[in-house]
């Protein structure tokens, strides 16, 4: 019992000490907010493979007109369920932009990485708005913005040989899969 109460006292003291230290500095500067309990689990590559890429593919697959041997195939949703799928995909793209900006993923927080991640974020938000408004043309146009965000970041941050067609933006160059 005595041992327990000693242990409890020790615990109380240990808790009080940081609090006292904080009060001492609090006079000078406001206490910093507690660190957010956030832990990045997936690598950038895994975020791409499991979140960004499937979401973007779903979005793209439900926009635009594809001409094939069977004729003209307009893939724009015609049902609420179809539009909902597009909205969901755009929402995932938007929030994925934030995932890429988190500590542990952002490659160079002072450089253009954040700009490209924000571009992905903005394109996703526009996609949600366009699909919510069931705007055929705008939904397709935003698909291009999403693609540009991928392309620009990859061009800068994925190592490629100097003579890579992809790097030069030459027609026929394809993004990595
Ligand atoms: C802010 C930067 C950034 C944006 C935006 C971005 N990517 Fe990436 N992506 C990367 C980097 C960096 C890699 C290479 C992984 C690494 O270096 O760890 C990568 C790799 C990939 C890969 C390969 C993943 C694997 O299996 O290793 C795919 C697929 C991919 N991206 C798809 C996309 C698509 C689709 C988009 C747009 C909808 C996109 N990315 C937007 C930075 C970005």
Q: What angle do CA 109, 113, 117 make, to 5 degrees?
A: 115
Q: Which of 48, 101, 117 to mutate to test the pocket of ligand 1 (most atoms within 8 A of CB)?
A: 48
What letter does residue 66 receive in the DSSP assignment? Answer: E
pLDDT at 6 over 70: no
Residue 16 binned pLDDT confidence (cut-offs 50, 70, 90): very low
Residue recorded with tokens 């832990």: 39
Average pLDDT over residues 33-56: 90
SS3 177: coil
96 close to ligand 1 (CB < 6 Angstrom)? no
Q: Is the pLDDT of residue 35 over 60?
A: yes
Predicted pLDDT at 167: 53
Mean pLDDT (whole number) for 79-98: 98
CA distance 153 to 34: 32
- Going by alpha carbons, the residue nearest to atom 27 of ligand 1 is 45
Give every CB contact of residue 161 below 8 A, 6+ residues apart in sequence. 167
To the nearest whole percent, how much of the chain has pLDDT over 70? 75
Contacts of 166 (CB under 8 A, 6+ apart): 154, 155, 160, 173, 174, 175, 176
CA-nearest of 114, 144, 112 to 126 is: 144
Ligand 1 atom nearest to CA at 56 = 38
Q: How far is ligand 1, taken at its centre, from the CA of residue 119, in Å?
A: 14
Q: Per-residue pLDDT tens for 117-155?
A: 999 999 999 999 999 999 999 999 999 999 999 999 999
Q: Quick one: which atom of ligand 1 is closest to the CA of 57?
A: 35
Mean pLDDT for 164-172 is 57
Amino acid 22: pLDDT: 47
């Amino acid at each position: 019992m005595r041992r327990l109460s000693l242990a409890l006292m020790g615990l109380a003291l240990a808790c009080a000490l940081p609090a006292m230290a904080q009060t001492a500095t609090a006079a000078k500067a406001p206490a910093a907010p507690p660190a957010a309990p956030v832990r990045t689990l997936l690598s950038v590559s895994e975020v791409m493979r499991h979140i960004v890429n499937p979401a973007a593919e779903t979005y793209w697959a439900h926009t635009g007109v594809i001409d094939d041997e069977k004729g003209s195939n307009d893939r724009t949703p015609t049902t609420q369920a179809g539009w909902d799928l597009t909205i969901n995909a755009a929402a995932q793209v938007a929030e994925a932009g934030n995932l890429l900006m988190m500590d542990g993923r952002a490659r160079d927080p002072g450089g253009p990485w954040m700009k490209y991640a924000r571009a992905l974020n903005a394109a996703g938000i526009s996609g949600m708005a366009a699909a919510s408004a069931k705007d055929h043309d705008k939904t397709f146009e935003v698909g291009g913005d999403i693609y540009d965000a991928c392309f620009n970041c990859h061009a800068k941050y994925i190592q490629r040989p100097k003579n890579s067609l992809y790097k030069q933006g030459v027609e026929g160059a394809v993004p990595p899969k």
